[in-house]
Structure 1
Amino acid sequence: MQEELLHYVWQHKKFNTLNLKTTNKDSVSIVSVGQHNLNAGPDFFNAQLNIGEQLWAGNVEVHIKSSDWYVHNHETDTAYDNVILHVVYEHDTEIYRKDNSVIPTLELKTFINKDVLHNYQKLFANQNKWINCENDFAAIPEFTLNNWLERLFFERLERKAKTIDELLIASKNDWEAVLFKLLAKNFGLKVNGEAFSSFAKSIDFSVVRKLQSKPEQLEALFFGQAGLLNDDIQDIYYLGLQKEYAFLKQKFGLTNTQVVPLQFFRLRPPNFPTIRLSQLAMLYNKHNNLFSKVIATNTIDELYSLFMVSTSVFWENHYTFSKVSKTSKKILTKSFIDLLLINTILPLKFCYAKQKGELNDEVILTIAQHITSEKNSIVNAFNNLKEVSASALQSQALLQLKVEYCDKNKCLQCAIGNSLITK
């Protein structure tokens, strides 16, 4: 028996609520189980209970055994003075208030639903499983699963919104600057995400604004701040960038001593930081007020069009500054734009709409449903249990499910776990 299960049983009334009696034979009827408290103090606040002939309002404490009250030293803690009922699985001793009056105790052992106990024990029986419910996941009703995944998707957006809120504070509520920092990190992907993020933080966005109409200077700014213009390469394009960057560095007082070095190792050439930096520069050259356009765009096709940019001409036959390659137009691919939409654009649109009090769930959901599902080890493992991820909505939700619920054994807070425990 786990105390967490007793919290769940009390909160959701998974026991026979008829003819309840305290250990002193007083009748108990529940008006309200109270508000579940996940912080320090009694487990449930503001419960309302009829005990005997009296209506009580106060707090409820839950333990496995009555004696746990003393194990946890509640008798010396004034936070527990207003406990009106002690809910336990097994009653083994009386509990007293400071005035020596007995705190009523409800022993659930004889009232608890036996199916709930059995299903709970079955769910947690084998801790070697990838997830606790993997043997039953395929049988979860579609309605339960789809509704839970939709909620998890928004939970994940909420988590990402916290990062955006921090960036907004640091930038004094400059949404355009925040978008630039978010996009830069995602243009770096996993390998260079930290490096691209540090490069973006090293530039005041007002400098980007001033150079947006000048693609050569914008590239010089990005390549120079990223530390890619320190070599002795005798190429007219490279030398031009060096000259422009030296001018910009002096004009704007730029420094890049805190920028993380970029990595080329084990990257496919289209993901080389040189290519991604040029694409990012051309994106900002193409779009003034990119943030405003992102917010005004509410369809997937319009978003794809917005981010359909290429490199500058030099990079059409180069991947590095020093070596010529086969000519090819290096346009942002649909799969890459999908990553930008998932990790930057949807969280940003969600956060902005929420701050403005104009959140439209349907717009966010519709866009997410039209983005191809991500492919990674977690999503693939869930799909092996049941083909569940058809879009980014589901794949993002499954990541949230695994990391925040399955890995933490929070089955009692999960709609899937609830479905299995109460079936």
Structure 2
Amino acid sequence: MQEAFLHYIWKHKKFDVLHAQTTQYESLTITSVGQHNHNSGPDFFNAQIRIGEQLWAGNVEIHINSSDWFAHHHEQDKAYDNVILHVVYNHDTDIFRQDNSVLPTLELKNYISKDILSNYNSLLAKSEKWLNCENQINLVEDFIIDNWLERLYFERLEDKTNVIQQLLKTSNNDWEAVLFKLLAKNFGLKVNGEAFFSMSKSFDFSVVRKLSSKPDELEALFFGQSGLFNEVSEVPYFLELSSKYNFIKQKFRLSNESVLPLKFFRLRPKNFPTIRLSQLAMLYSTHQGLFFKVINVKNKKDIYEMFKTGTSTFWETHYTFQKESKATQKNLSKSFIDLLIINTIIPLKFAYNQSIGKRNNEAILKLVSQIKPEKNQVITAFNKLRPMANSALQTQALLQLKNKYCNYNKCLQCAIGNTLIAK
């Protein structure tokens, strides 16, 4: 048994509160269970409990055994002097206050229903299951799951907002620079995301602003900082860009020593870093002041139009410098732009509106609900257990659920787990 289970039982009053007594046979009336404390100190702050005829206000400490009080050395810690009730599963010793009076104790094992205990043990039983609840998730009502996934989606946005806040600190609060770094990372996708991100951080965004009217120089900057001119080539376009980059490098005193190497291996040609970097350069040569355009755009159709960009002319007949290919316009696909909406545009809108004290949850829900569900192993596995992914809202939420709850057995903090335990 985990103490977290007892926290859940106390917090949600999942025991026989009407007949509960202390181990000294005093009656208990719980006016407030208190505020759950996830840091050091007593487990619940500012509870209000009537014990016998006396109304108490103070803290509650929870343990599996009463003797854990001494095992955790609480008798030596003044932070526990204001504990008014000791809640335990098993009472194996009395705890005394400094004035030698017995600290009131509630022994929960006499008041927890056998069904809840059985459900808890069943859910968290050690096994090789992909999810603890995979055999029971179909028992949960759609309403509970839908509301939980919506909450998880915004929790995921909050996590991304924390990343954006860190980027703001290192970018002198320049939202335009933060957008560039986020876009660079997402243009690189999973394989080259970190390499593109390191490239975007290797120079000040003011350089992009100064070169934005010259797409060839912007492309030279991205290619050069990414190390694509390190090899020797006699291809005229390679020599042209390399020459432009050397001038830019000297002019702005650039270094790319911290930039991670690019990868071509096992990538589809349309995702080669040469193609994605050229598309990124064309995007920024087409749109000056991209950040405010992104913030003000309201629907998916307008975003598709805004990001309708291709490559420079050379890359219409090439995927690498060395080999020519069939001529095709290599525009960003709608599925690729969907990923940009999910991972860059919506998180940035959410973070920016938070920073100016504006709530835009409804607009964000409307936009993300229009995006097709993502396809990956996690979503496929969830859908086999119970079809839940109708849009990017659900797929993002399910990724949050798996990575932040299921993988750490946090069933007691999960609305699905809570529902199954309480049945």
Give the TM bin, normalised by the shorter chain: over 0.9
Match of 2:108 in 1: 108
- Unpaired runs of 5+ residues, structure 2, are none
Distance 1:256 1:416 in 2: 48
Which is further off, 92-101 or 176-185? 92-101
Residues 327-356 of structure 1 deviation map (CA, whole Å, 9 limit, x = unaligned): 101000111111111111111111111111
Match of 1:125 in 2: 125
Match of 1:159 in 2: 159
Match of 1:272 in 2: 272
Match of 1:323 in 2: 323
Distance 2:106 2:192 in 1: 58
| Residue identity opposite 1:174 in structure 2 | D
Q: Where do 1:73-222 residues align within 5 Å? A: 73-222=73-222
Secondary structure (helix, strand or coil) at the match of 1:347 reads helix
| Residue identity opposite 2:218 in structure 1 | L
Which is further off, 319-328 or 60-69? 60-69
Distance 2:263 2:366 in 1: 36
Match of 1:312 in 2: 312
Distance 2:256 2:68 in 1: 58
Secondary structure (helix, strand or coil) at the match of 1:87 reads strand
| Residue identity opposite 2:168 in structure 1 | L
Secondary structure (helix, strand or coil) at the match of 2:304 reads helix
**1:289 and 2:292 are equivalent in the alignment:** no
| Residue identity opposite 2:22 in structure 1 | T
Shift of 1:378: 0.7
Secondary structure (helix, strand or coil) at the match of 2:110 reads coil
Distance 2:371 2:119 in 1: 37
Secondary structure (helix, strand or coil) at the match of 2:100 reads coil
**1:366 and 2:366 are equivalent in the alignment:** yes
Distance 2:19 2:390 in 1: 49
Shift of 1:254: 1.4
Distance 1:75 1:311 in 2: 69
Distance 1:234 1:7 in 2: 69
**1:37 and 2:34 are equivalent in the alignment:** no
Secondary structure (helix, strand or coil) at the match of 2:15 reads coil
Distance 1:253 1:354 in 2: 36
Shift of 1:243: 1.9
Match of 1:59 in 2: 59
Instruction: Give the TM-score, by structure 1 length.
Output: 0.98
Which is further off, 226-235 or 174-183? 226-235
Shift of 1:113: 2.3
Shift of 1:2: 2.7
Q: Where do 1:2-41 residues align within 5 Å? A: 2-41=2-41
Secondary structure (helix, strand or coil) at the match of 2:295 reads helix
Match of 1:400 in 2: 400
Secondary structure (helix, strand or coil) at the match of 1:318 reads coil
| Residue identity opposite 1:397 in structure 2 | A
Which is further off, 163-172 or 190-199? 190-199
Secondary structure (helix, strand or coil) at the match of 1:274 reads helix
| Residue identity opposite 1:93 in structure 2 | T
Residues 258-301 of structure 1 deviation map (CA, whole Å, 9 limit, x = unaligned): 21111111111101111001000000011010110000011111
Residues 109-158 of structure 1 deviation map (CA, whole Å, 9 limit, x = unaligned): 22222221121111122422111100011222110000000000111111
Match of 1:389 in 2: 389
Distance 1:386 1:264 in 2: 37
Distance 2:187 2:19 in 1: 63
| Residue identity opposite 1:202 in structure 2 | S
Point out 4+ residue stretches in structure 1 off by more than 4 angstroms.
none
| Residue identity opposite 1:147 in structure 2 | N
Distance 1:246 1:75 in 2: 69
Which is further off, 130-139 or 142-151? 130-139
Which is further off, 67-76 or 303-312? 67-76
Shift of 1:19: 3.0
- Unpaired runs of 5+ residues, structure 1, are none
RMSD: 1.1
Residue-pair matches, total? 423
Secondary structure (helix, strand or coil) at the match of 1:390 reads coil
**Identical-residue share of aligned pairs (%):** 64
Which is further off, 144-153 or 240-249? 240-249
Which is further off, 278-287 or 100-109? 100-109
Shift of 1:11: 0.6
Shift of 1:104: 0.7
Distance 2:230 2:56 in 1: 75
Secondary structure (helix, strand or coil) at the match of 2:109 reads coil
Secondary structure (helix, strand or coil) at the match of 2:393 reads helix
Match of 1:243 in 2: 243
Shift of 1:391: 1.0
Which is further off, 357-366 or 170-179? 357-366
Match of 2:253 in 1: 253
Residues 179-214 of structure 1 deviation map (CA, whole Å, 9 limit, x = unaligned): 111111111111111111111111211010011111
**1:49 and 2:44 are equivalent in the alignment:** no
